[in-house]
Amino acid sequence: MSENPKALKLFSPTRIAITIAIGLAVATYLVVRNFDIKHFENIEWTWYSTLMIFVAIIMMALRDLAYMYRIRVLTDYQINWRNSFDTIMLWEFASAISPSIVGGSGVAIYIVNKEGVKIGRSTAVVMTSALLDELFYILTVPMIILAVGYQDLFPVQLQKEIFGVTLGTQGIFLVGYFFIVLLTSIISYAVFFQPRGFKWILLWVFKLPFLRKWRHDAGDTGDDIIVTSKELRHKPFMFWVKAFGATLVSWTARYWVVNFLILAFVSLNFQEHLMVYARQLVMWVIMLISPTPGSTGVAEIAFSGFLKSFIPLGLAGTLALLWRLVSYYPYLFIGAVILPKWIRRTHVAKDAEGAESK
């Protein structure tokens, strides 16, 4: 994959344009549908409102800074701060223009590898990042539910058919959560205890007739697990403290963006803060199964539905758009700016060095 330029095809102008168009169309619809001039005129904009929006932007910067630190830790500081910025921005760029159910992990391996990290370690870095993200979610959900209760987490009633069973919002959340727990447990056990045994089981399972066409991909996944295991099994305790600490900071900052945006318009007590946080955890599962790039459209609708009880009347659509303007669209524009320079630095320059060495 390290020499496969097909990975760059994800960053096509058409894909970016479609992503932006979908998001803006849905956001415009929500703003128009929910806008009420009387309620809007009652909103009082103060210096405090400006401060809270500024703090929300700082939270996004803190999230990215924590991700940059984490990737430096996971690569044993092989990537410097400047290049880690490019890596994270392009990784987020790839995720922003990929369907949420697909993600940008494949391209992320390519990006990390092009920063001079060997392909095996690049695979381990991306897989470990995913495991740490899932571990944060697995640990946070029960703690937040204990703090706020379970009854008020699902203000929106959705329906989705999964394996022939129609589930509501609560069912989707529970299935999503326990699926994440199961998958993370299996992969963690495979990485740290039985990587080769896991590959053997995968290949055996994918001998089944209806799974046989994916057997090659299953083998590749098994190889990734083995490589990741070699990279991680003997890491010191402080390596994991630093990596998970950065994960904790990055995800907490990401969720707090919404809290501070709401604070720009209304006051929240401590319990309400926790409920806003908790409902975002439910939203994350809903967004995870979105077929649209970066959950575009789905995210805005979920925001307006799950958090409308904390938002002044008539502002749900506007705040949903503001949230995406702060937390999503910047990656599209920053990524588009960085990409050409990154290609020149990691591809053109290195190709020239290779030609000279010959």
What residues does 293 pair with on adjacent strands? Answer: 99
Local structure of residue 160 (DSSP, 8 states): E
Type of residue at 121:
R
Is 70 exceeded by the pLDDT of residue 2?
Answer: no
The pLDDT of residue 4 is: 46
Mean pLDDT of 266-277: 91
Is 50 exceeded by the pLDDT of residue 357?
Answer: no
| Pair of tokens at residue 294 | 């970066």
User: pLDDT (tens digit, 9 = 90+) per residue, 104-141?
Assistant: 677 888 889 888 888 888 888 998 999 999 999 999 99
- What is the domain extent for residue 150? 5-357
Local confidence band at 237 (pLDDT 50, 70, 90 cut-offs): very high
Local confidence band at 324 (pLDDT 50, 70, 90 cut-offs): confident
Name the percent of the chain lying above pLDDT 70: 80
Length of the chain measured in residues:
358
The pLDDT of residue 40 is: 60
Rounded-to-integer distance, Cα 152 and Cα 353, Å: 60
Rounded-to-integer distance, Cα 345 and Cα 358, Å: 20
Contact status, residue 66 vs residue 246, Cβ threshold 8 Å: yes
Mean pLDDT of 148-152: 86
Contact status, residue 332 vs residue 20, Cβ threshold 8 Å: yes
Domain tally, the chain:
1
What 3-state DSSP class applies to 266?
A: coil
Mean pLDDT of 30-36: 60
Residue-averaged pLDDT of the chain: 82
Mean pLDDT of 148-154: 87
Q: Pick the range with the lowest mean pLDDT from 27-36, 72-81, 168-177, 257-266.
A: 27-36
Rounded-to-integer distance, Cα 11 and Cα 3, Å: 16
Which of residues 119 and 314 earns the better pLDDT score?
Answer: 119
Mean pLDDT of 185-198: 90
Contact status, residue 356 vs residue 118, Cβ threshold 8 Å: no
Which of residues 281 and 313 earns the better pLDDT score?
Answer: 281
Per DSSP, the chain holds a count of helices (H) and strands (E) of 15, 2
Contact status, residue 28 vs residue 325, Cβ threshold 8 Å: no
Is 90 exceeded by the pLDDT of residue 216?
Answer: no
